[in-house]
Amino acid sequence: MSRTRRTDEGQGRLGSTLSGLAVALGCVLFLGGFVWGAIVYQPYTVPTESMTPTIGAGDRVLAQRIDGSEVKRGDVVVFTESAWGDMPMVKRVVGIGGDKIACCEAGKLTVNGKEIAEPYLPKGQGPSATGIPTTTVPQGRLFLLGDERSGSLDSSVHIGDSSHGTVPRSAVAARVDAVAWPMDGMLARPTGFEALPGGLSQPGPLRLVLAAVVAGAVLVLGGAAYGPIAKRASKGRGRSRASAGERALAG
């Protein structure tokens, strides 16, 4: 009987130690994930429908803080350009410095003469509402369009100004990785730009951040639940041994 009690006590101490370690590790992962996310990402609310159906008006997005030099074609970016307004705007980059942009004699947007597939456009809508004359993007600048071309105040609208409708890379504050509310998830990669020099940007660490937070929550809850479960199991074993002893005496 004493050997059984010592075994139970040893198992209990080990379980308590492992439970404490699980809770501690879970706290590190959970809080660390939130801190990591707050450092790398910033939430924005999109005020207009210029990026529908990719992002709707009022949607809450998570955008990775980046330097403008990291931007590539196809990226959906958050930027501020005083000539376009004083508030942050969200548009898609379709051209970078040196690119020749045109639309739409062949029925598609072209970059350096290559037709670009744009599956993110609204169904039934063409690649441009107004047509874009052949324009060369100045070095260090970006040509941006909304996915909802018919109502987007983008580079196609400002193309007549001295910068040919472009904005400097330095105007970019972040790159959108996901729509957080409603929970539409990660943005699809715009493969139409993949064959152009420079390729596509890689998604940020959002999935790793979320995995750390979820794993941390599971460890904290699991570790915290161990104590009550182990206590109930111990009482159950105690009652079983007592019943077995009573039956042995009765026999």
Q: What is the pLDDT of residues 118-147, one digit of tens each?
A: 999 998 887 876 778 999 999 999 999 999
**pLDDT tens track for 168-177:** 999 999 999 9
Report in angstroms the alpha-carbon separations of 179 from 40, 141, 184, 214. Answer: 16, 26, 5, 18
Residues 6 or more apart whose Cβ sits within 8 Å of residue 68: 142, 168, 169, 170, 171, 172
Nearest to residue 102, comparing CAs of 59, 126, 131, 74? Answer: 131
Report the alpha-carbon distance of residue 22 to residue 234 in Å, rounded: 21
One-letter identity of residue 104? C
The Cα–Cα gap between 37 and 33 comes to 6
Active-site annotation, residues: 50, 91
In this prediction, residue 234 carries a pLDDT of 54
**What are the domain boundaries of the chain?**
41-202, 205-238
Q: What sign has the CA pseudo-torsion 185, 46, 203, 74?
A: positive
Give the model's pLDDT for residue 88. 94
Contacts of 148 (CB under 8 A, 6+ apart): 49, 50, 51, 52, 53, 122, 125
Rounded to two decimals, the pTM is 0.82
On the CB side of 46, how many CA atoms lie within 13 Å of its CA?
28
Measured CA to CA, the distance from residue 12 to residue 8 in angstroms comes to 6
Q: Which has the higher per-residue pLDDT, 192 or 225?
A: 192
Topology classification of domain 41-202: Umud Fragment, subunit A (2.10.109)
Write the DSSP symbol of residue 203.
P
pLDDT at 245 over 90: no
Q: How confident is the model at residue 230 (pLDDT cuts 50, 70, 90)?
A: low
Q: Which helix (H) or strand (E) holds 19?
A: helix 2-40
Q: What residues have CB less than 8 Å from 200, skipping those under 6 apart?
A: 72, 73, 74, 189, 190, 191, 193, 194
pLDDT of residue 242: 47
pLDDT digits (tens, 9 = 90+) for 105-122: 778 899 999 999 999 999
pLDDT, greater one: 8 or 210 = 210
Is residue 136 a contact partner of residue 130, using CB atoms and an 8 Å limit?
A: no
How far from each other are the two terminal CA atoms of the chain, in whole angstroms? 19
* Whole-number Cα distances in Å, 235 to 26, 194, 212, 228, 240: 28, 63, 35, 11, 9
